[in-house]
Structure 1
Amino acid sequence: MQGVLISLARRFALAGGAVASGLALMTVASIAGRALWSQPIPGDVELMQMGIALCISLCLPWCQLHGSNIIVDFFTQSLPQRATRALDGIGTLLLALMCSLLSLRTAAGAIAVNAADEQTMIIGLPMWWAYAMLAPGLALTAVIGVWQAGRLLRGLPPLPEAQEAAK
């Protein structure tokens, strides 16, 4: 299971990075077009908003997998490792539940917005795309969170590699 989760998270993050790179190129082209020919890329702001949301969603699983989210451990840093892992496990499980709910609600939102036939203002992209793109990253983050919570609540590190490094 861990190999599949790591591989999927890596692929999602690489896709998120590719989208971010494409957005950066689009921004440069739009700014250059505006400066040189008074012709920016139509809908560049709409594309940027949708693209950045997608990037964040795709990179969340990788961040969760490697514990790269914000942690406030001021009150728990003096606790024994087992207690800290138990608290981290509870927090990770809560994060997984939240991501599950967000994934389900964004998928439901995509269906509702599609039924309403909403489109972006400038280039007329279907708005449901923006919602639908968020659900897979949030769902994978939830699955990784459940897997990590199980490890943490059993007193193990969130990643098996961390177990080897601790020896």
Structure 2
Amino acid sequence: MAAEPLPGRLTRGAIGGLVSGMVFAGATMWFSSTMPNGKAEMPLHMIASIVQGGKEAIMAGQTSVGVGLAVHAALSIVFGVVFGLVTPMLRTNGTVALVGTVYGGLIYVVNFLILSPLLFPVFGDANQPFELFAHLVFGTLLSFSFYGSGVRRNEGFLAIGSAERAPAR
């Protein structure tokens, strides 16, 4: 079975990344609102600070929820597209799920443990265990957009039972 054509994979990645990213943002906003003195929009202000001037901009009230949503959506799409470039090497849905989850963890490591201390220290204020969890969920949800595509086309969603599908009528 041949790999899914590149435009299809990029589209799956973009849509999967966007949907997974919005679930991620919603969960993070909910979590933030449950913290003492927490505000649901704070994660979006933190993300907006990437392009709007860092922690100082947050403190001065110069960050925007809309900019935070746009930046988060754009990053989620980019991460989804990058994952789409890797999927032809993944031969089973289980491998896609495993690699997707690891990919989410890798995004966390790069963003929070490498880039944040160097470039975006405001992200050090985030709840790190929750951020790791949310990134793992992002990667897992993203992987679902590649189930049954390309080389995995004949594999059932859970790969239970026969690998062959009934012929189309």
TM-score range, shorter chain: 0.3 to 0.5
Question: Higher relative contact order by CA 8 Å / sep ≥ 6: 1 or 2?
Answer: 2
Q: TM-score scaled to structure 2, two decimals?
A: 0.33
Q: Which has the larger radius of gyration?
A: 1
